[in-house]
Amino acid sequence: MQAGRDGFLGRAAGDPALWADFWTLCDCGGRLAGTASEARAMDWAAARLAAIPGGALRRDPTPYAGWRCNEARLENAATGRALACAPLVGTAFVDGLELEVLDLGRGAPEDVARAGAAVAGKAVMVRHEFPFASWTIHRRKKLQEAEAAGAAAFLIVQPEPGVGPVSGSSGRAGGKGIPSLGLSAEAGACLRDGSRVRITIAGEDFPRAMANALLLELPGRGPGRVVLSAHVDGHPLGESALDNATGVVAALALARAVAPVVAGLPRGLTVALFSAEEWALAGSKAWLTGLAEAERRAMAFNLNLDSLCGSPRVTALTSDFPALGPFLRDAARGAGFDLGVHLPLMTNSDHANFATHGIPATRLVAGFDEPMSGLRFLLTGADTRVLVAPGELKAATLLAATLLWEALTAEEEVMAGLATR
Q: CA 115 to CA 103: how far, in whole Å?
A: 10
Q: Which is nearer to Zn ion, 153 or 280 (CB)?
A: 280
Residue 220 φ/ψ region, left for φ over 0, alpha for ψ in the -120 to 50 degree band, beta for the rest: beta
Q: Which is nearer to Zn ion, 180 or 240 (CB)?
A: 240
- Please state at what angle helix 18-27 crosses helix 390-409, rounded to 10 degrees: 110
Instruction: Identify whether the C-beta of residue 384 lies closer than 8 Å to the C-beta of residue 309.
Output: no
Q: Tell the smallest beta-carbon distance from residue 233 to Zn ion (Å).
A: 9
Q: Tell the smallest beta-carbon distance from residue 282 to Zn ion (Å).
A: 13
Q: What DSSP element (H or E) covers 144? A: helix 139-148
Q: Tell the smallest beta-carbon distance from residue 307 to Zn ion (Å).
A: 6
Q: CA 206 to CA 173: how far, in whole Å?
A: 10
Q: CA 202 to CA 199: how far, in whole Å?
A: 10
SS3 167: coil
95-110 core/surface letters (b: 16 or more CB in 10 A; e: else): eebebebbbbeebbee
Q: Which is nearer to Zn ion, 224 or 310 (CB)?
A: 310
Q: Tell the smallest beta-carbon distance from residue 383 to Zn ion (Å).
A: 10
Q: CA 218 to CA 266: how far, in whole Å?
A: 12
Q: Tell the smallest beta-carbon distance from residue 367 to Zn ion (Å).
A: 13
Q: Tell the smallest beta-carbon distance from residue 290 to Zn ion (Å).
A: 22
- Using CB atoms within 10 A of its CB, is residue 201 exposed (0-12), middle (13-18) or buried (19+)? buried
Q: CA 83 to CA 96: how far, in whole Å?
A: 14
Instruction: Identify whether the C-beta of residue 363 lies closer than 8 Å to the C-beta of residue 303.
Output: no
Q: Tell the smallest beta-carbon distance from residue 49 to Zn ion (Å).
A: 19
Residue 93 φ/ψ region, left for φ over 0, alpha for ψ in the -120 to 50 degree band, beta for the rest: beta
Q: Which is nearer to Zn ion, 235 or 267 (CB)?
A: 235
Q: Which is nearer to Zn ion, 147 or 306 (CB)?
A: 306
Q: CA 337 to CA 11: how far, in whole Å?
A: 18
Q: Tell the smallest beta-carbon distance from residue 289 to Zn ion (Å).
A: 20
Q: Which is nearer to Zn ion, 243 or 406 (CB)?
A: 243
Q: Tell the smallest beta-carbon distance from residue 363 to Zn ion (Å).
A: 9
SS3 226: strand
Q: Which is nearer to Zn ion, 213 or 331 (CB)?
A: 213
How big is the chain by its Cα radius of gyration, in Å? Answer: 22
Instruction: Identify whether the C-beta of residue 26 lies closer than 8 Å to the C-beta of residue 385.
Output: yes
Give Dmax over CA atoms of the chain in angstroms.
Answer: 71
Q: Which is nearer to Zn ion, 220 or 374 (CB)?
A: 374
Report the interface residues with Zn ion, using CB under 5 A: 243-244, 306
Q: Which is nearer to Zn ion, 205 or 369 (CB)?
A: 369
Q: Tell the smallest beta-carbon distance from residue 370 to Zn ion (Å).
A: 17
Q: Which is nearer to Zn ion, 111 or 306 (CB)?
A: 306
